[in-house]
Amino acid sequence: MHWNELLPTFLLSLVPIILAMGALASARRPRQRAWRTAQVTTLSGLLLSTLLLALGLSGVLPTVTGWWQTAPLQLIMLLLANFIAFVVVRYSATYLQGEPREQRFVALAQGVFAAVSVAVLSDHLLVFLVAWLTIGLAMHQLLMFYPDRPRAALAAHKKFLFARSAELCVLAAFLLLYLHHDSARISVITSAYAAPGGALSASEQAAACLLALAALIKCAQLPLHGWLIQVVEAPTPVSAALHGGVINLGGYLLLLFSPLLLQSTPAQALILVVAGLGSVLAALIMTTRISIKVRLAWSTSAQMGLMLVEIALGLVELALLHLLAHSCYKAYVFLSSGEAVQQDLQRRQAPGRRPTPAQWLSAGLMSGALVAGLGAFVHYVSDSSAFDVVSPWVLMTLALTVLLAERRGPLGAGAGAGFLGLAALVVLAYFGLKSLFAVLLPTLEHTAPLWADLWVSTLFVLLFAGYCLQRHGLHHRWVQTLNLYCYAGFYLDEWVTRNTLKFWPHPLPSRIRAKRLHAASHGGSL
């Protein structure tokens, strides 16, 4: 192999190697030196990932080199993972100062992101699976950072079982694909589905459904979502790493195998039904929560469901944009969650006014006209397929309707033109970014079926109706009852937890014992 072929392989391998060596070094060094080592390794990984993305976009890197893939999807995900790693480590150096297990955290955090780097770059089924398993096992240790907390132990136990179930699904899917294609190269397998061909075989359909099921489990979709809500017992940096990076791997799995998924109607239907309903319910449940970290956890479940729906509709460029924006946003809001009290007080000082029916109607008409006008303009100046799928624009119209209607309160009086301009900017930014990411990803010849588009559009309308009822209709008794069920999460997690513990019992730490010891020590000192 010539040196110009070895160099890209070496540079790509260097990213996970640096993080892995940093993890080993941090585990053996004193506390201060361990944090400095972690900051150096994560910064090195971030800079190297940036360089690799620049080389990849300029066409210098081959698409596949060694066991690594260097397409824009892989390099963007590599940069995202290392950016989240750098931010989390920098924040944790202060946040976890003085914690007895902080040295364990800094080593495990680097190990997690080293495995994530391997997973997003891998071009081999076995390497991907081993990295996926390593991520799950290392995250389990991070979630048990406070092993004496019963809720944390219960959440980690449920996640451990669900993660192993997802890995078994991936293993079975990979085995079926390997037997069908006689190759373990991911690039070879996905290229076979780049163009629509004949009907998929039974083994290919089964593999697509197994991959879809694995992604649903990994992305904490209802009803297997409870662990994601309860892991807020872990330190805030662990939540930021989980919600900002690790949980996105389910979406990345479907993005990676989207050429296969989009040719399997059963797999698409599975995602559209489960993730579609789950995202709507999770979004409505989120609005009933008070704790900022719990609200963010429910938001993650809803956003992951929406991202999976986008992939199932064939909007892979929109899903990648969604993944990047969600990762950076969730990492930021978790790490700044301490400011939530002040933000809530500011919001309470300027309450909005309930929009009148006329204001709702005018906001809906303006939003619809804005989106329709942009659609006509885009069709006139380009051959863009942005409007081939209607459901995203239904969601955009409904979101703009809420924005324009609810901003007509005391603070928004007389500012209609400004908010209308903001709404137009949002629509243009959406179209522009979607078009940009479409250039970065390979073109897939796929058109969402009409039933899928109508189903997702109906879900968005139901979400809009549920939001309006929760926000402005709580004076109705039946809405109060619905809100009560939303607050309870429709008791889905209780049912799953009860059956999970029946299937695999797990002893949980008891704080009662600690309280008794504390009381006994006080009694003995008297």
Whether the pLDDT of residue 520 is over 50: the answer is no
Beta bridge partners of 185: 124
CB 285 within 8 A of CB 465: no
492 pLDDT above the threshold of 70: yes
Mean pLDDT of 41-62: 91
In the chain the first and final C-alpha atoms are separated, in Å, by: 78
- Look at 525 and 193; give whichever has higher pLDDT: 193
Is 83 a residue whose pLDDT tops 90? yes
Q: What is the pLDDT of residue 523?
A: 45
Beta bridge partners of 69: 64
The whole-number pLDDT of residue 339 equals 65
pLDDT at 260 over 80: yes
pLDDT confidence band for 350 (50 / 70 / 90): low
Residue 400's nearest CA partner among 377, 380, 430, 379 is 430
CB-based contact 231:238 (threshold 8 Å): yes
For residue range 53-73, what is the model confidence (pLDDT) as tens digits? 999 888 888 887 778 999 999
User: Would you place residue 291 in the very low, low, confident or very high pLDDT band (cuts 50, 70, 90)?
Assistant: confident
pLDDT for 98 beyond 90: no
Count CA within 13 A, CB hemisphere, residue 322. Answer: 21
Q: What integer pLDDT is reported at residue 117 of this predicted model?
A: 94
- Token pair belonging to 282: 């999770």
pLDDT value at residue 50: 94
CA distances from 359 to 405, 461, 502 (A): 6, 18, 52
- The share of the chain scoring above pLDDT 70, in percent, equals 88
Provide the pLDDT confidence category of residue 412 given band limits of 50, 70 and 90: very low
**90/42 Cα distance (integer angstroms):** 9
**488 pLDDT above the threshold of 90:** no
Higher-pLDDT residue of 480, 414: 480
**pLDDT band, very low/low/confident/very high, at 510 (cuts 50, 70, 90):** low
* CA 168/CA 190 separation, integer angstroms: 20
Angstrom distance (rounded) from CA 215 to CA 258: 12
Are the CB atoms for 313 and 391 separated by under 8 Å? yes
Lowest mean pLDDT across 84-98, 353-367, 449-463, 511-525? 511-525
Question: Is residue 521 predicted with pLDDT exceeding 80?
Answer: no
Task: Report the percent of the chain where pLDDT is more than 90.
Answer: 39
Specify the pLDDT at position 212.
Answer: 96
User: Residue 363's pLDDT is what?
Assistant: 83
Over residues 131-146, mean pLDDT: 90
Q: What pLDDT does residue 211 have?
A: 96
In this prediction, residues 495-518 reach a mean pLDDT of 70
Q: Which pLDDT band, with edges at 50, 70 and 90, does 166 fall under?
A: very high
Cβ contact 365:416 at 8 Å: no
Q: What is the mean pLDDT of the chain?
A: 84
pLDDT at 514 exceeding the cut of 50: no
> Count of alpha carbons within 13 Å of 290, Cβ hemisphere only?
1
Contact 486, 467 (CB under 8 A): no
339-361 b/e (C-beta count within 10 Å ≥ 16 → b): eeeeeeeeeeeeeeeebeeebbe
User: For the chain, what is the total number of helices (H) and then of strands (E)?
Assistant: 23, 2
Mean pLDDT of the region 94-117: 89
pLDDT at 35 exceeding the cut of 50: yes
